[in-house]
Amino acid sequence: MSQNTVNFGKVAVLMGGLSAEREISLMSGQGVLQALRSRGLDAHAFDPAERDISEVKKDGFARCFIALHGRFGEDGTVQGALELLGIPYTGSGVMASSMAIDKVMTKRVLLSAGLPTPRYVLLQRDAQGTYGGADINAIPEQLGLPLIVKPSREGSSLGLTKVSDGAGLAEAIAHAARLDADVLCEQFIAGDEVTCPVLGTGTAARALPVIRIVAPDGNYDYQNKYFTNNTQYLVPCGLPDGEEAVIQQLVLQAYRTLNCRGWARADVMIDQFKRKPYLLEINTSPGMTGHSLVPMSARAAGISYEDLCLEVLKTAALDYQTPKGAAP
C-alpha cells in the first residue's frame, strides 16, 4: 500500500506542550500540520498544555503525529498515555523514549553494547538541594579541559556550557541545574560535529545522509540552532572517504540498541586526530522547523518535507498492539 492510499483517518499533530522546548515544538508542529493538510489529510493541531490528552480519544483521532520536544512529549509520558488510550503514535515507544531523553541512561545502554560515547561524570542533587556529595573540583582532572556541562534530560542545547577552565565549572553546573536536577559533565571531543537521521523500524530502518555542522566559533547553541543563519550545514557532509558510511552504521546500531522506531536523529562527534566517532545522544522526536536537520537530510536523499511527514506518520504504532487474529 503506498503512502497516498493509506487511510490515515483523523490525525492529531501534538505540539507545544509543557517543556522548555515549547516554542520550537510549536514551530515543528505547524510545519507538520501544513504538510499533512497539503496532502489532503484531516489533520488538526492539539496542544497538551491547553487540553487534556484524553480528549484525543474523545475527539475521534485515529493516530497522532508527535511533534512535541523534551519533557512530557519525548520522554515516554505522552507515549504511555496514548498506549492507554489505544491511539497509535509516531516515534519510539514508552521505554525507548524514556531512555533516550536521559543522556546518562543512553550512555549506559550504549556502553553496555560496546558503542563509543564520551566519558562522563553524573552529578545528582542531594536532599539539601546541592551537589555537595560530589568532588566537583576533581572533574576537570577526570575529564580534561575543556569539558561540556549540560542537563541530563533536556534538548536543543538548553542549559549547555563549554567550560574552558575550572573556575567556570560551578557556574556551568548551576546553569544546567536550573533545567534538571541531574547534571552531566562530559568529555569534550574536538573535531567534526555531525548528525544522522534514521527512518523506519528494526531491520527495515535506514540511515539518511549525514550532515556536518559548522557553527560560529564551534558554538552550536539554542540561538544558532533555530534563530540565526550563521551556522553551515554541509550535505553532502564532505567527510573523508568511508567515514559517512561508518557514521551511518554506528547510528543504526545505537538506534536498534535503544529499540527506537519510526524515526530519530543521532548526534555524533568525530575526534579530529583519531577520526573516531563518539555518540552523544539520540533524539526520538526530532525538530521539523525551517532550520531542522531531519528535513534537510531527507531532502538530500530526494524526500520532500511533505513525503517525510507522510512516511513518519505511516509508522505510527503502539507498543502493545494486539496482532490481528490473536486472542485478547
- Residues serving a catalytic function are 21, 156, 226, 265, 267, 281, 283, 287
Q: How many residues does the chain have?
A: 328
DSSP secondary-structure letter at 107?
H
Cα 47 to Cα 241: distance, rounded to the nearest angstrom: 45
Cα 97 to Cα 54: distance, rounded to the nearest angstrom: 20
Which residue is listed with cell 531523553? Answer: 101
| Strand-strand pairing, 211-214 and 232-234 | antiparallel
Q: First vs last Cα of the chain: how many Å apart?
A: 27
Side-chain half-sphere of 181: how many Cα atoms within 13 Å?
Answer: 7
- Nearest CA among 243, 303, 230, 305 for reference residue 272: 243
Looking at beta carbons, which pairs linking 219-225 to residues 24 or more positions away fall under 8 Å? 219/162, 220/157, 220/193, 221/157, 221/160, 222/156, 222/157, 222/158, 225/156, 225/157, 225/291
Q: State the DSSP H helix or E strand holding residue 232, giving kind and residue range, or none if neither.
A: strand 232-234
Q: Do 94 and 44 touch, CB atoms closer than 8 A?
A: no
What is the amino acid identity at position 275? R
Q: Do 290 and 228 touch, CB atoms closer than 8 A?
A: no
The grid cell for 281 is: 545522544
Cα 23 to Cα 17: distance, rounded to the nearest angstrom: 9
| Strand-strand pairing, 63-66 and 10-14 | parallel
Cα 201–chain centre separation? 16
